[in-house]
Structure formats: C-alpha cells, structure tokens
Structure 1
Amino acid sequence: MTNENALLSLQSVGVKHEKRVLLNNIDLHIMPKEIVTIIGPNGAGKSTLLRVALGLMNADSGRIVRKKGLRIGYMPQRMTLNPLLPLTVERFLGMAVTGKKRGESHDIESALARTGVAHLQKHSMQNLSGGETQRVLLSRALLAKPKLLALDEPAQGVDITGQTELYELITQLRDELSCAVLMVSHDLHWVMAKTDTVICLNQHVCCHGHPEKVSNDPAYLQLFGRRHAEAIALYHHDHDHRHTVHGDIECDHHHD
C-alpha cells in the first residue's frame, strides 16, 4: 500500500539476474526529511536496491512510485575517470549542470562551498584525495537541488576522521535542504547514532525500523553477531557527546 506522503515507495519489488535472486519482495517508503540507511553483508543487494529505487536499474516485479517532480541527487559508490583526460573539478561538475551558463558557475561554486571544498574548483580531479573526491561527488549530487539525496557508501576510501566529518555534513545537509536521505553504509556506529530508519537487507528485508529496535532484532543479531550488537548498545549508552563538522568533541552538558 502506497503512503501518500512518501517521496519514494517500493512495493513487493524483486530483481533477478539469470537464475539468481538479487532482491525479493522489497517494501520501502522514504518520507520527507527522513534519513534511511540500508545495511547488510556483502552481496546482500544494497547497491542494487538503491539503483532500482532511483530508476537506474529495472525491477523484474513489483511497483515503484516516486512523488511527481521529485528531484534526486545521486552519489554513486565509485566513479572511474580516465587518468589521461585532463578534467578540473569545475569542468567535471559542469557536465552535470543544465541551464544558463551564468547560473551554472554560481551553482557549482555554491555546491562546492556547501561541502567545504570551494578551494578545489580549479584543481584536477585526478589529483584529489579520497576524502576530497567524495566531497566533490557529494557536491555533484547537490547540483540537482534534491529533495532526496541518494548516497551509495559515501565514506568509501575516506580515513576515519574524514568519515566522521562527512557523515556529520550529510546530517547538516538534510537539515539545511529539508531533504530526505537514502543511503547505503557499512559504518554501523554512525548508522545507529544518526539514522531515523534502518533497513537490514539480505536479498529481502530482514528487519527495519528505529536503530535501537533493529539492533535487538534476532535477524540483525544473526547477520552481525551479538558481540557487535552489544558494542552498538554500549555506544548508544555512553555517547554523551557529539562531533562537530571538524571532528572536535562537544559534551552534552544535560547528561548529569
């Protein structure tokens, strides 16, 4: 059944490749301003689910409903560029922009500034670090002025400090843009601390809901193990501080 307020709904969606089932009977609803994170083991179909939801890949069964006029900003898991092709950050982002040329330059500058890498505008894409590349890809997703940000492993190839900063930035962007976020992530600590809804996937939806509910679900424990679940629970209990966008720690003084 479709939720009329949902930005995106999947109903009984299935995907097969030859005789192998990639996704089976998937139901999913993305609500405005919600952060939904898909987790699961390798080969669970997480990236496939994201691509099918966005219309980048066809489903073999089921129904997908996107809100009329929904603007989606997509950040793929990886993007391979020809190392021999001279390509600046500005030119790379310009390839993703449509509209008047004067507006394009302003949009690119604004998107790069929003992700903290405005200084990289004239730099070569091939010379960026892992963290810089991910921020540029996130800037590219912002050019769509999205109401839904779709992110496939956004912190891939980024060091620990950079991961914290990037995930904090994603949360800030959700608040700034009043957009929803649909994300694939392996960083379970961040997922459990910041996500509104967790989808635990292993070809089918094993469990879903609020992070604390999911972390106690037998299906989650079977996939990730009780020791990991207990570590997540401890993290929840002891997390009496928060991280700034620069990775600094600020104490929550209301915990006495």
Structure 2
Amino acid sequence: MNLIEAQRLEVTLGSHKVLSHVDFHVAPGEIVTIVGPNGSGKSTLLRTLLGALRPDAGKVTRKPGLRLGYVPQKLMMDPTLPMNVMRFLSLPKRVPAAERQAALDEAGAGTLGERPMSGLSGGQFQRVLLARALLEKPDLLLLDEPTQGLDQPGSAAFYRQVEHIREHLGCAVVMVSHELHVVMSASDRVVCLNGHVCCQGHPEVVAQAAEYRALFGTGTAGALALYRHEHSHRHDAACDHDHGHAHDHGHAHTRSEAS
C-alpha cells in the first residue's frame, strides 16, 4: 500500500491554475524527487500533500495513521530571540531532552544543542529543522528545497544525511529540488512537474565524471536538461495538457519513463 496518493489534483491560487490533473504517489521507503521550473507547482504540491492547501478538485489519500515530517524551504526567526537549539526543539510542545538529542544526532547535528539559533550557519540551521521534523517519527519526510542557499558541499552533505536517515529509520522521502546531483545520487524516482506531471522515472547515474562535473550544481534549466521526454505517443491522462507534443529538453543522461 502506498503511503500517500494524489489523484487528479487541481489547485488554483488567485486566478492562476497551479496544478492540473496531477497524479502522484509515494511507496514505503522510497526517495522521490520533484523537479521543475520556477512556478511549476512543486511547493504547492507539497503543501497539498501536507494538508496545508485544499485542492479544488481531486483528492489526497493517506495511509491510516501516517506520520509526516516537514522541512520548509526557509524559516524566518527573530535573530535577537535568545533561544538555543534544544529549546527550539521543544516548541510548541515540550519534548524530552533525550528525544531532542537523538533527533539532533540523527540529523548530523548532535553537537549543536546548546548553540544559539541566531549563531547557526545555513547548513546547521537546516539540520536543526531536519531534527525537528524527525521528532514526529515520520513515515514520510517532506523536504521543500531544504538546501536552498547552501553551497555545493553543504548541499551534498545534507542529502547524504537524508539518505542515511532513510536507511536507518526506513522512512520515505519526498524532496523538491532543482539540484542536479540530488536527482542523480539520492532518488529512486524523479517526477518532472510543470503544472502537470510531464513524466517520471528512475534516474541513472551519469557515466562520465567530466559530464557530471559540468552539470553538477546547475540550476533549474540544467536539471531539466537531464530529461529527454521521448514520447512517441500523445500524453495519456497523467501527462496531458501538452497537446500531444513530444518533449525534448536537451542532452539526456537519464532515462525518463512516460507516466
């Protein structure tokens, strides 16, 4: 049984239809990365899965008792607030100190407990947010571009930690990302979104190191260049709204499967 399923989702924000006929699912233990250009609906899909947004049409079905952990794209905090990491992890509800420390250890931030939140680097702050999500003991961890603003080594280290968490805790992971190396190294399945699901499939490791370095760390355009949607057919119900045109986004180093 899938942990979560979305069927024929439609979401309109203001006068703009952000998601149209989106089908999506996550199986136990898998890492799914959602990629797409700015404005493609990635964060909107994540917020709808969380229940923070109500779809205009379609539905989200969760496995009974499903526990969710969420790492937002960013969290604004008053830098003058005198709060250390351990105190932050006990808000808004009190959490035993041992559980907070265990979550920090799992997130690779075990030495940060007494550090002031205002004194953390970007990477440290994101690991603390990851620890906070782990306090929920999630079956499914949702990450909304959690490494935005981090440098390349910091991003790579963060996602290695996510892979470790998946292996150690057995939770599934959904990541919104535009980072090429994440798509290649961490994902069991990649979903390409642009208001609707263009395609999805299992990413392959890039064969040649030089090509990998040339593409590593590129932005959205570079990530989308990984995908050549070689559809010899018109879109089916899950890949509609492109009027039957095949996609060819450039130099393919992964294989995408029609959804």
TM over 0.5: yes
Aligned equivalent of 1:206:
198
Cα distance in structure 1, aligned partners of 2:14 and 2:46: 20
Q: Secondary structure at the match of 1:167?
A: helix
Match of 1:84 in 2: 80
Deviating above 3 A after TM superposition, structure 1's stretches of 4 or more consecutive aligned residues are: none
Partner deviation per Cα, 1:13-59 (whole Å, 9 max, x = no partner): 11002221110011011100010110000110100100101101111
CA distance in 1, matches of 2:176, 2:230: 21
Aligned to 2:163: 171
The residue identity in structure 2 corresponding to 1:215 is Y
Q: Conserved in 2, the CA contact under 8 Å of 1:89 and 1:122?
A: yes
* Preserved contact between residue 86 and residue 114 of structure 2 (Cα < 8 Å): yes
Structure 1 residues 119-130: aligned runs within 5 Å? 119-130=111-122
Q: 1:106: how far off?
A: 0.8
- Which residue does 2:33 correspond to in 1? 37
Cα shift at 1:215? 2.9
Q: Look up the SS of the partner of 1:94 in the other structure.
A: coil
The answer to whether residue 250 in structure 2 is matched with residue 226 in structure 1 is yes
Counterpart residue type for residue 206 of structure 1: C
What is the letter of the counterpart of residue 152 of structure 2? I
Structure 2: how far apart are the matches of 1:70 and 1:97? Answer: 20
Deviation at 1:194, TM superposition (A): 2.3
Alignment-derived partner of residue 124 in structure 2: 132
Distance 1:66 1:74 in 2: 15
Contact 2:33 2:177 in 1 (8 A): yes
Match of 1:216 in 2: 228
Contact 1:96–1:143 (CA under 8 A) maintained in structure 2:
no
Q: Give the structure 1 partner of residue 54 of structure 2.
A: 58
1:77-116 → structure 2 map (5 Å cutoff): 77-97=73-93, 104-116=96-108
Q: Can you give the 5+ residue segments of structure 2 that lack an aligned partner in the other structure?
A: 205-225, 232-245
Aligned to 1:152: 144
SS in 1 for 2:52: coil
Of residues 7, 12, 17 in structure 1, which corresponds to 2:8? 12
Quote the RMSD (CA, aligned, Å): 2.0
Q: Is contact 1:192–1:211 with CA below 8 Å preserved after alignment? A: yes
Following the alignment from structure 1 to structure 2, what is the Cα–Cα distance between the partners of residues 189 and 84?
36
Higher helix content, 1 or 2? 1
- Give the whole-Å Cα distance in 1 for the aligned partners of 2:228 and 2:65: 38
Residue 218 of structure 1 and its aligned partner are, at CA, apart by 4.0
Q: Partner of 2:184 in structure 1?
A: 192
Q: Which amino acid in structure 1 is aligned with residue 109 of structure 2? A: V
Matched residues in 2 for 1:17 and 1:114: separation? 37
How far residue 216 of structure 1 moved from its aligned partner, in angstroms, is 3.3
TM-score by length of 1: 0.81
Cα deviation digits, residues 169-220 of structure 1 (max 9, x gap) = 11110011111001101112221232111110001101112124x833248x
| Matched length | 221
State which of 53, 59, 71 in structure 2 corresponds to 1:75. 71
Which range moved further: 61-70 or 116-125? 116-125
Secondary structure in 2 matching 1:215: coil
1:244 counterpart residue number:
none
Further displaced range: 89-98 or 194-203: 89-98
